[in-house]
Structure 1
Amino acid sequence: RSSLVHKNLPTLVVQRFSGWDTYEEKQAYLIEAHAAFADIDPTQYDAIVIPGGRAPEYIRLDADLQRIVRHFFEANKPIAAICHASLIFETMPDLLKGRNLTAYTACKPGVEALGATYVSDSTVHVDQNLVSAHAWPDLPGFMREFIRLLQK
């Protein structure tokens, strides 16, 4: 459900909840990336989906990813962020100050440190152009709300 880039071969990772308050991960598929963040012109895109899992922990440090994400906030285009995607926002705290979002429960302190309000009473939340969700079990509602944003 997430990707870790290694030599242009993102590794998809299958996450499964183990019955405790955490999950376990197993390697899934290797796929070839079609473009690097440096090659992306965000003005050519209408929306962005930021996946969760382990990838945000690593890719958030990429200046080109920060440039891309910043564009979607500043242009008020639809943004979908699920699970650990909120880690990416920690590199751009000015974008989330005063906003409301949800994320994987363990990300709550990071969301609040951004000056945002962590929404805990719903697993899917929409705040203006940003739809956020806790984790992959919330994908149906998450995508429904994201499609609504796209239709506006």
Structure 2
Amino acid sequence: MKKKVLILAGDAVESLEIYYPYFRCLEEGYETTIAAATAKTLHTVVHDFIGWETYSEKAGYLIEANCSFDNVDPADFDALIIPGGRAPEHIRLNDHVPGIVSHFFDANKPIAAVCHASLVLTTVKEHIRNREMTAYIACKPEVEAAGATYVNEPLHTDGNLVSGHAWPDLPGLMKEFIKQVNEATIEV
């Protein structure tokens, strides 16, 4: 049976942080669904590190979200990916997102979170409290305020949660995530 991966996104999702995992999952043979507040064409952004004190942002590619959050049954999926960018700032406000994310923690299913994805995880504090994770350094205060320990490393794995600092860390993040997905058993 084919593994199913859910990606939570929205407008201003970081281009590499959605495209790399999406294509990597397709390459692995996973059935991969991109969900957003509404099923629509999403605008991505390109964040780059060009010598500023923070990253720069430019318009990126378009990508289709083929499912809305209110139509997601997380029990239908084997794993979850939350890309960064600015999308996490607003998708975490959607009433359905905390329940979706909580399911993956409750069921101990693999979760990959990169960069600003940590902002979504702060909506499920009960699941990240006393856990370790990394994220983009600007998210450190939110990670710690939610009760998690911020790890100043490009990649970190704490049980089923695989976290990455930013898009340059995607190869390692996806390697660990795919390992976890492939080792997980599918309940029939």
TM-score when normalising by structure 2: 0.75
1:78 to 96, 110, 117: 110
Q: Given residue 145 of structure 2, which amino acid in structure 1 is its aligned partner?
A: A
Match of 1:149 in 2: 180
Q: Does 1:107 align with 2:129?
A: no
Moved runs in structure 1, 4+ residues, more than 4 A? none
TM-score when normalising by structure 1: 0.92
Identity of aligned residues (%): 55
The count of corresponding residues between Structure 1 and Structure 2 is 150
Match of 1:138 in 2: 169
Match of 2:128 in 1: 96
Q: Do the aligned residues in 2 keep the contact of 1:3 with 1:13 (CA within 8 Å)?
A: no
Give distance in 2, aligned partners of 1:15 and 1:3. 15
Give distance in 1, aligned partners of 2:164 and 2:63. 25
Match of 1:69 in 2: 101
Higher strand proportion: 2
Give distance in 2, aligned partners of 1:82 and 1:113. 18
Q: Given residue 173 of structure 2, which amino acid in structure 1 is its aligned partner?
A: F
In structure 2, relative to structure 1, the CA distance for the partners of 1:3 and 1:13 (3 Å cut) is farther
Q: Given residue 95 of structure 1, which amino acid in structure 2 is its aligned partner?
A: H
Q: Given residue 135 of structure 1, which amino acid in structure 2 is its aligned partner?
A: A
Match of 2:58 in 1: 26
Give distance in 1, aligned partners of 2:135 and 2:43. 22
**Unaligned regions of 5+ residues in structure 2, if any?**
1-8, 12-35, 184-188
User: Which gives a bigger RCO, structure 1 or 2 (Cα 8 Å, sep 6+)?
Assistant: 2
Give distance in 1, aligned partners of 2:122 and 2:179. 26
Per the alignment, in what secondary structure is the counterpart of residue 93 of structure 2?
coil
